[in-house]
Structure 1
Amino acid sequence: MSSPGLQGLRPWIIQRVSAVLILGFVFYIAIVLLTNSPLNVNDWAAWVAKPYNNLLIGLTLIAVLWHAWIGIRDIILDYVPNVVGRLLVLTLVGGTLIGSGLWGFKALFMVFIK
């Protein structure tokens, strides 16, 4: 049994779209660093606390996690032949990505409410 939503063209398109979003964020950060680089932790916190920056970082975090999940999932499906081992590794990777995402959003939220 397979999940029709995560095979074929759809994950390929998601990978490409998320890569473009991540690249756009990298260019945005590069421009910020070159033009008006925050000098200390308080400047960075103030920059991240701006609603549009906080939202952009959050959306980029989602794109990174989704991109990582699809890429790692495809590698595991290709190279782990044992179904039980595959399920175990996918569960560990998924849990790690979910935990990382929750930690990232908590950090963004804590900076935003300060």
Structure 2
Amino acid sequence: MKRNVVGAHYGLTTWIAQRATAVLMAIYTVIFLVAVLAVQPGTADAWRGIFANGFMKFVTFLFFLSLFYHAWIGIRDLWMDYIKPTGVRLSLHVLTIAVLIGYAGWASKILWSL
């Protein structure tokens, strides 16, 4: 059986993964809005107070990981569907992965510096 290297063809697995990350991000949005409405931060110290406990930092980091994985699935499928030369597509995949990993590191640095 020969594998076709053009096109996403991941089907149900990526569809479920993208929906699951979307649900996680929606749940976080509700948690974040409740926290902001409860505290009504008007200063930088009040914003720091929202993220002072480990729970909010953790769920925020999970939100960002979900966002980056969600983005990876979408961009990967886009590259696979529309970029036909394998070398160009591979280069775009590597660049996308590097950027998303960099964003994850940056997000963790920001969150744990609060």
TM class by shorter chain equals 0.7 to 0.9
2:101 counterpart residue number = 98
Matched, 1:43 2:39: no
TM-score normalised by length of structure 1? 0.86
User: What amino acid does structure 1 have at the position aligned with 2:49?
Assistant: A
- CA deviations on 1:85-105 (whole Å, 9 max, x unpaired) are 101111111111000000001
In the alignment, structure 1 segments of 5+ residues that lack a partner are none
| Contact 2:21-2:70 at 8 Å conserved across structures | yes
Q: CA RMSD in A?
A: 1.9
Task: Give the Cα separation in 2 of the matches to 1:66 and 1:22.
Answer: 11
1:21 counterpart residue number = 24
2:66 counterpart residue number = 63
User: What amino acid does structure 1 have at the position aligned with 2:17?
Assistant: I
Larger helix proportion, structure 1 or 2? 1
Task: Give the Cα separation in 1 of the matches to 2:11 and 2:67.
Answer: 20
Structure 1 runs (4+) deviating above 6 angstroms are none
In the alignment, structure 2 segments of 5+ residues that lack a partner are none
| Contact 2:24-2:66 at 8 Å conserved across structures | yes
Aligned length: 109
Post-superposition offset of 1:8: 2.4
User: What amino acid does structure 2 have at the position aligned with 1:10?
Assistant: T
